[in-house]
Amino acid sequence: MKGLKGSVTADRGQAEAAIAELLSPFGRTGGENPYAIHADLQECMQSLVGIIRTEGELKKALEEISILKQRLTRVTVQGGREFNPGWHLALDLHSMLSVSEAVTLGALERKESRGGHTRDDYPFADDHFGKVNVVLRRQGGQFTVKQEPLPEPPPELKALLQERK
């Protein structure tokens, strides 16, 4: 975003496609209830990507999230566009599912336990993961996971970190 200069332009076709996408939950009938998808996502993240994580559960969560993404394509809302919480939830679910997927992929990549991230299958902190950030990027709906090196901490901080161990 820092690289952006001036005003952003979009052609009419792009705008119309975006509007059609946003309004699509109104056009369907007999589909998925956004609140049901939301509740299932909460249950999935709570039980499989919770406080104590394992590889098996994280992989299961990815499968469930992909099913939820499928269900979201069939989401249906009733009523009109003004003050419609069901519609807003249907739109928010896209972001919620993206964030859930990113969290799960990141947790799978971090094969260690540190701070708020606890892996039952890797119970100790790994020095390697102290030196990298796990970075997720998405293009065309597909996430890529990459480890990128962190700048070395200044010596005085490094000394403090060593003492803590």
Binding site for other proteins (CB under 8 A): 33-36, 39, 77-80, 82-87, 89
SS3 135: strand
C-beta of 36: minimal distance to other proteins in Å?
Answer: 8
C-beta of 72: minimal distance to other proteins in Å?
Answer: 15
Determine how β-strand 118-119 pairs with β-strand 52-53.
Answer: parallel
Contact in structure between 25 and 77 (CB atoms under 8 Å): yes
* Nearer to other proteins among residue 65 and residue 77 (C-beta): 77
* Nearer to other proteins among residue 79 and residue 123 (C-beta): 79
Half-sphere exposure for 144 (CA within 13 Å, toward CB): 6
* Nearer to other proteins among residue 76 and residue 98 (C-beta): 76
C-beta of 79: minimal distance to other proteins in Å?
Answer: 3
Residue type, 68: L
What the block records as the tokens of 64 is: 């469930």
* Nearer to other proteins among residue 82 and residue 148 (C-beta): 82
Determine how β-strand 132-139 pairs with β-strand 142-149.
Answer: antiparallel
C-beta of 130: minimal distance to other proteins in Å?
Answer: 38
* Nearer to other proteins among residue 36 and residue 150 (C-beta): 36
**Residues whose CB is less than 8 angstroms from the CB of residue 73 and which lie 6 or more positions away in sequence, other chains included:** none
C-beta of 76: minimal distance to other proteins in Å?
Answer: 9
The counts of H helices and E strands in the chain are: 6, 4
